Structure 1
Amino acid sequence: MAVLIREHTTVHRGQGPTITRQRRRAFLILALPAVILYTIFFVGPTLASFWVSLHAWDGVTEMRWRGLDNFTLLFEDEVFLAAFRNTLAILLAGGLLVFMLSFALLLGMRAMAGRRFARSVVFFPNIIAPIVLSVLWGFLFSTDGLVNAALGGVGLDAPNWLGDHLFLVIFLGLIWTNTGFYVTILMAATDRIPRYFYEAAELDGAGPLQQFRHITMPLSWDVVSTAAVIWTISSLKVFDFIYAFGGTSNDLPPIHTWNTAVFIYGQTFGGRVPAYSFGYASASAVITLVSVIVFVLLLRRVMRRDPIQF
């Protein structure tokens, strides 16, 4: 009997490393296509963009080495600095408003009978192309639009929204189009919280805000932090919604509405003088990428919490 046990143990121990090597080999084989595609379509272009940012290049003639001059000129370019400020405004102020509205709608829909229908209505802008949404949003704020009609109905002067206030209109439009997406994410996170937590809180006399603070937020914090990262990445690369408000095939939106994505396009294909400045535009793209990485790392550090098991 002891001999059989020793033989069984020997065979089992002999198969352990073999099985481990087989699993590693299978993992590498399955992961290899994704790694190759990621390298071709992300790592390669990123490194190429960084290399181009160190040169003066119009996309046709031979590159001329400039070193860090493109980056130095960017921080002296008032248009780029204004575009970067607009990008930060969308990221910080826009993110704050999006999540405040998302949580407010979440609390409001929790007590509604048709909460699933309400969630579908709120999510509706996310199934429409951003170009179409920008056109609809522009109609609302046009001279004869619904917003001015409402202001006139209560005796207020209707400003020229699509003139000096165009960036504000774009900013509010981005809030409107993105809120439904984050409401859906947060609602999915709160739906997994057991109902008896809220019932026990109600028995203890806790109101909706106290339940939100002590139950909803702690138990859905992992999803909230992930949603914040998604907003950080997406807000720093908004292009189509802004471009659709003033851009045409021969013209760009007004400069005071630009963010860094529109600046990059304008500096390459959009006709901003000097046009086709691929090196200069690549430098701004590198700065945008570094900004995304820095903000995501800071956000993950600030929002890091131990997960709560329930």
Structure 2
Amino acid sequence: MLYLALFIGPTLYSVYASFTNWDGINTPEWRGARNYAQLLDDPLFVTSFWNTLLILFVVGAGVFVLAFAFMLMLRDMRAKGFIRGVIFLPHIVSPIVLAIFWGFLLRHDGLLNALIVELGGEPVSWIGPDSAFLMIMVAMVWVSTGFYVAILMAGVDRIPAYFYEDASLAGASAWQKLRHITLPLSWDVISVAAVLWTISSIKVFEFIYAFGASQGYMPPDYEWNAAVFVYGVTMGGTSPQYRFGYASASAVLMLVLVTALVVLLRRAMRRDAVQF
């Protein structure tokens, strides 16, 4: 009953609201599918959608490549607990704090440009229209990698050490150990990590909003993703304001995208359980 009240009910109402013109206060006015048709012709929504996909795939690739690299590097290290904690540290700090720090580092009169000028170079526009979202993605890789290192290490740590010892005695290379031992025996953990990333990357909001808002009341349009778009068209000062029905339509599309990707990902990564 609690799940129905807190999740299913609001979700169903959002689906209904997505077909209406609603300002959040007055009675919704039925619009049919016009909100969805308008979204497809909205340049701001298209930009937000593509930025969301960039986070999902490009940042995701960076996060998992680094997470696997750290996992392989830390597996046999004595100080792996300490180093894993250092890598995990950005994930436990508030995204607002990290975004403010990142903005201070990259703004035109920020710390990075001050260092460049001190070394005799010219200031760089790190957060201009052509580079701001790239900087956001770099920051998100830095923030997120530690969490997935911890997840992957949990999968690797449960693999008995004698598997690797026997493989070494048989002359197996590092690649063969990864392919035939590490990946198969931690595949269920990897698949869970992939699903978690898919969900979290599409609904990320705090970091992008705080980073962009440091440049004004709202992030510039070229920094928006799907979650910021939902906020922006309701409470963020776009014209017209308070378009709850329109925002609901974009939120429903985001829900459909997440659901479809998770289902496809689970099917693509499905394997028989390995007993050891």
TM-score range, shorter chain: over 0.9
Please give the per-residue CA displacement for 1:63-106, whole angstroms capped at 9, x wherever unaligned: 21101110010001010011000001100111111111000011
**How do 1:1-310 and structure 2 match up within 5 A?**
36-143=1-108, 145=110, 147-148=112-113, 158-164=123-129, 165-247=131-213, 251-310=217-276
The CA RMSD over aligned residues, in Å, is: 1.9
Please give the per-residue CA displacement for 1:269-302, whole angstroms capped at 9, x wherever unaligned: 1111111001000000000000000000010111
Distance 1:144 1:188 in 2: 42
Please give the per-residue CA displacement for 1:178-222, whole angstroms capped at 9, x wherever unaligned: 100000010011000000010111112223232112211110000
Distance 1:105 1:265 in 2: 36
Distance 1:197 1:155 in 2: 54
Distance 1:110 1:151, change over 3 A: farther
Identity %: 53
Distance 1:142 1:40 in 2: 44
Distance 1:140 1:213 in 2: 40
- Which stretch shifts more, 165-174 or 217-226? 165-174
Distance 1:308 1:140, change over 3 A: same
- Which stretch shifts more, 80-89 or 144-153? 144-153
- Which stretch shifts more, 129-138 or 39-48? 129-138
Distance 2:260 2:214 in 1: 33
1:30 corresponds in structure 2 to none
Equivalent AA in structure 2 for residue 198 of structure 1: Y
Distance 1:286 1:266 in 2: 16
Equivalent AA in structure 1 for residue 243 of structure 2: S
Structure 1 length as normaliser, TM-score? 0.84
Displacement after TM superposition at 1:117 (Å)? 0.1
Distance 1:303 1:267 in 2: 36
Displacement after TM superposition at 1:229 (Å)? 0.3
Distance 1:41 1:283 in 2: 19
Q: Which has the higher contact order (CA 8 A, sep 6+)?
A: 2
| Structure 2 alignment gaps of length 5 or more | none
Equivalent AA in structure 2 for residue 282 of structure 1: S
Distance 1:61 1:161, change over 3 A: same
Displacement after TM superposition at 1:144 (Å)? 5.0
- In the alignment of these two chains, the number of paired residues is 275
Equivalent AA in structure 2 for residue 114 of structure 1: A
Q: Which has the larger radius of gyration?
A: 1
Equivalent AA in structure 1 for residue 69 of structure 2: A
- Which stretch shifts more, 191-200 or 203-212? 203-212
Displacement after TM superposition at 1:175 (Å)? 0.9
Structure 2 length as normaliser, TM-score? 0.94
Q: Is the 8 A contact 2:167 2:177 kept in 1?
A: yes
Displacement after TM superposition at 1:171 (Å)? 0.8
Please give the per-residue CA displacement for 1:233-261, whole angstroms capped at 9, x wherever unaligned: 00000100000012269721010010010
